[in-house]
Amino acid sequence: MANKKIDFGRQDFIATPSDTLDIKSDPNNIAKNFPNGEVDEVAFRVGGAGDVRFTAADSPDDSYETLTFIDGEWFPVAVKRIWDTGTDATNIYCVACTARG
């Protein structure tokens, strides 16, 4: 397996939590900010403390975890969805990442 270089934070944007759409397919998220779809993974940081319900990038679509975050905390794990239900943290910023060979 070849090592890949990961470029973090090419652009960040406020996440729109959704119970039905993944971050990369939601027109308010990746599709709006990266129209050419050049994003491999998405991590996030929380501006305002609270719970975030999310689905990790490598998890089944209907699975989720909920964690409590403090103001300004980073979550450097690839996620595919931030759920509206179960999320009360505010100002959640997605950070787009790309992998290069």
pLDDT in tens, 18-73: 999 888 777 666 656 665 656 667 889 999 999 999 999 889 988 999 999 999 99
Alpha helices (runs of H) in 1-101, residue ranges in sequence order: 30-33
DSSP single-letter state for residue 31: H
Query: What's the CA gap between 79 and 81, in Å, rounded?
Result: 6
State the sign of the Cα–Cα–Cα–Cα dihedral 62, 67, 69, 75.
negative
Domain boundaries, the chain: 5-100
The reported pLDDT for the residue numbered 16 is 87
Q: Which residue has the higher pLDDT, 76 or 18?
A: 18
Looking at the whole model, is its pTM more than 0.85?
no
Query: What's the CA gap between 50 and 54, in Å, rounded?
Result: 13
Q: What average pLDDT score do residues 82-86 get?
A: 97
